[in-house]
Amino acid sequence: MGEEHNGPGHGNIPTHTEEPGLSHARILELRLARVLVYGITTCAVILLISLIATLLRDGGKSVSFREFHPERSSTSMREVLDGVQAMEPRAWLMLGVLLVILTPVARVTFSLAAFAKERDRLYVFITLIVLTILAYSFFFGKV
Amino acid sequence: MRAIGTWFRGLVVSWSRGALRSATLLRLMELTYFSLAIFGGSLLAGCLGALTGLGGGVVIIPLLVLVFHTDLRYAIGASLVAVIATSTGSAAAYIREGYTNVRVAMLLEVATTIGAIVGALIAGMTNKLIIMYIFIAVLFWSAISSLRETKHAGPQEAADPLAVKLRLNSTYPSKDGPVPYGVQKIPAGLLVMFGAGVLSALVGVGSGVVKVIAMDRLMRLPFKVSTTTSNFMIGVTAAASAGVYFHRGQLDPALCGPVALGAMAGSWLGTKVLVRAKTRALRIIFAIVVAGMGVQLLIRALTGKI
């Protein structure tokens, strides 16, 4: 054991704290893990509260998804954000869903910063490509 | 005492009435029952998805279509959200364990996200029934492949020079300290990953089957590394197609909300079990569940009830 643990580039030690002996890459990974936990927890709280609010208001109504009605759901960020401002429970629920979808995008963005900090040009470039493709889907997704 | 008795009887009567209504009128039911039932189902799916590293999609879609009589387009949208929630929910725990290879994930994501955009475009032009048959094929494929033994990479052959250049080789934790491994056949892996992205967007699954196979068989990553890295990448791939589906109105909050919450809770439970779980037993459970649902969907599709 022992000697390999503190060597540079051997950062895969199963630990939950950022000890000084950890490799740089490992510290970045652990930070990424923490960002993901915060992100998903925020999403869960928003989803839970807005789901309860939606059920308190519309809980007794009948729902059916048997037929596809694209006009029933909001299809633009603007529409959702307007509803969020008006404290519309359904819009808040949709916001929670959109935030869930954005967690992987946040992860990619974080990795970009992490690779940049490591001065890893190759992976900064690779991560930028992934981020561009994701941005394309969110901004030009209407096809 | 009598008051409690009456209250209790009232509760049982109303509950059984509700359950009866749920059973007969699942296609048109009250939002509260609907949400709770969907939450429960997604919890199971999320758990299974995290345990097998294959994402919750292969279980969520049959659940929504068979039990809740949901249109396939809604089911695919909700499934993608579940897939993302499962991936993010369990990724953090996996990184802490030290199995995930972030560089491999990022490199392959270039291929999977391009594939996902292409797949979402194709889905917009394809008949619903064709997509259903493709999905059923994916289900059977998932079931069979999860039963097959994967050959372990074992001691490394000659290291791929490209893997060295891209700094993809890494180590994974074990009882005896970090075990080093190398990455093989990167161009072939990228090509398969593009296909995985197309499939993921087209039928709304994480395509974990394809990803795990590419990483196990082609790139020769150790099983737990490929499972966790795949689980990590699945979210990014699904996000690329979910953006397109959002603009198409395929994401409804009343459906996606409870599905996302259930999947999150399930994946959280799933990751708690992973490190100790026997992978063989997991694969068998997975195969049985998935194959059973595949048969049911096939019957529906053939009898024109989709």
B173-231 per-position pLDDT tens digit: 777 778 888 888 888 889 999 999 999 899 888 777 777 778 877 888 887 788 778 87
> How large a percentage of chain B has pLDDT more than 70?
82
Q: Is B98 on the interface with A (CB under 8 A)?
A: yes
Query: For residue A43, is pLDDT > 80?
Result: yes
Confidence of residue A142 (pLDDT cuts 50, 70, 90): low
The answer to whether B257 contacts A93, with C-beta atoms less than 8 Å apart, is yes
Answer for the pair B102, A121: CB distance below 8 angstroms, yes or no.
no
Give the list of residues 6+ apart from residue A3 with CB closer than 8 angstroms, or none.
Answer: none
Q: State whether B251 and A97 contact (CB < 8 Å).
A: yes
Question: Which residues, in sequence order, are CB contacts of A14 under 8 Å at separation 6+?
Answer: B96, B97, B98, B173
Overall average pLDDT of the B96-101 stretch = 78
> Could you tell me which residue, B70 or B89, shows the higher pLDDT?
B70
CB A107 within 8 Å of CB A35: yes
- Specify the pLDDT at position A8: 39
Mutating which of A5, A32, A58, A65 best tests the B interface, going by the most B Cβ atoms within 10 A?
Answer: A65
Higher pLDDT residue, A134 or B279? A134
The beta-carbon neighbor of A123 closest among B29, B68, B103 is: B103
Q: Which of A39, A55, A141 sits opposite B88 (nearest CB)?
A: A39
Q: Rounded mean pLDDT of B262-274?
A: 79
Q: How far is B132 from chain A (nearest CA, A)?
A: 15
CB-based contact (8 Å) between B174 and chain A?
no
pLDDT of residue A94: 93
Residues in chain B within 8 Å Cβ distance of A40: 85, 88-89, 92, 264
Residue carrying structure tokens 């294959």: B54
Tell me the HSE value of A114 on the side-chain side, using a 13 A CA sphere. Answer: 22
pLDDT beyond 90 at B256: yes
How many Cα atoms occupy the beta-carbon half-sphere of B48 within 13 Å? 23
Could you read off the pLDDT of B136-181 as tens digits, one per residue? 988 888 788 777 765 555 555 556 788 888 888 888 877 777 888 8
